[in-house]
């Protein structure tokens, strides 16, 4: 059975919770991707924002893949970029084109919104992900740094 890809909206809070559960399993990070938080009102507000792109791949009503991306407006030119933040496919459904279909959909959204590019990061120790992104785009070797917030004072 082929997965159906669709974009989530404000009425899809339960499906967003299913997507977080999928992320928790695939990324082995149940502390970050908890099904029970945040509350429904907060999720509905986020799902209503056009700059937050949440896609799911479903088979028989079950979420088997998903993608989270963010549209980032630029200031040096009248354009935006889309940052593909999370992409996951359930283990039983990998190598069936679901990740490629999710990426294709975010590329269509990028074209529709006039975005200049879709960009994504990958970890060096994840050869399947690197192979997927290499097949679909141009690789750049960059460094990534997490800078912690600091209170004034």
The ranges assigned to domains in the chain are: 4-8+50-136
pLDDT tens, 81-98?
999 999 999 999 999 999
Query: Which percentage of the chain shows pLDDT scores above 90?
Result: 72
- Under the phi-then-psi rule, with left for phi > 0, alpha for psi from -120 to 50, and beta for the rest, what region is 113? alpha
Domain made up of 4-8+50-136: CATH architecture: 3-Layer(aba) Sandwich (3.40)
Question: Which whole number is the average pLDDT over 92-112?
Answer: 96
Say yes or no to pLDDT of 144 above 80.
no
- Under the phi-then-psi rule, with left for phi > 0, alpha for psi from -120 to 50, and beta for the rest, what region is 99? alpha
Q: DSSP state, 87?
A: E
Give me the helices (H) in the chain, please.
13-26, 40-47, 98-113, 127-136
Tell me the pLDDT band of 140, cut-offs 50, 70 and 90: confident
pTM comes to: 0.88
Q: How many residues does the chain have?
A: 153
Q: Cβ(53)–Cβ(70) under 8 Å?
A: yes
Cis peptide before 38 (omega within 30 of 0): yes
Q: What is the pLDDT of the chain when averaged over all its residues?
A: 92
pLDDT tens, 17-64?
999 999 999 999 999 998 788 999 999 999 999 999 999 999 999 999
Instruction: Return the pLDDT at 112.
Output: 94
Instruction: Return the pLDDT at 123.
Output: 81
């Amino acid at each position: 059975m082929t997965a159906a890809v669709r974009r989530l909206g404000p009425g899809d809070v339960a499906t967003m919770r299913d997507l977080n559960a999928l992320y928790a399993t695939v990324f082995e990070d149940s502390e970050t991707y908890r099904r029970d938080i945040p509350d429904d009102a907060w999720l509905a507000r986020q799902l209503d924002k056009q700059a937050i792109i949440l896609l799911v791949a479903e088979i028989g009503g079950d979420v088997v893949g998903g993608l989270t991306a963010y549209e980032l407006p630029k200031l040096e030119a009248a354009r935006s970029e889309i940052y593909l933040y999370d992409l996951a496919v359930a283990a039983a459904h990998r190598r069936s084109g679901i990740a490629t279909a999710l990426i294709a959909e975010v590329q269509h959204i990028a074209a529709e919104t006039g975005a200049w590019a879709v960009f994504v990061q990958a970890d060096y120790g994840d050869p399947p992900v690197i192979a997927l992104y290499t097949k679909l785009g141009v690789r750049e070797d960059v460094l990534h740094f997490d800078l912690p917030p600091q209170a004034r004072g």
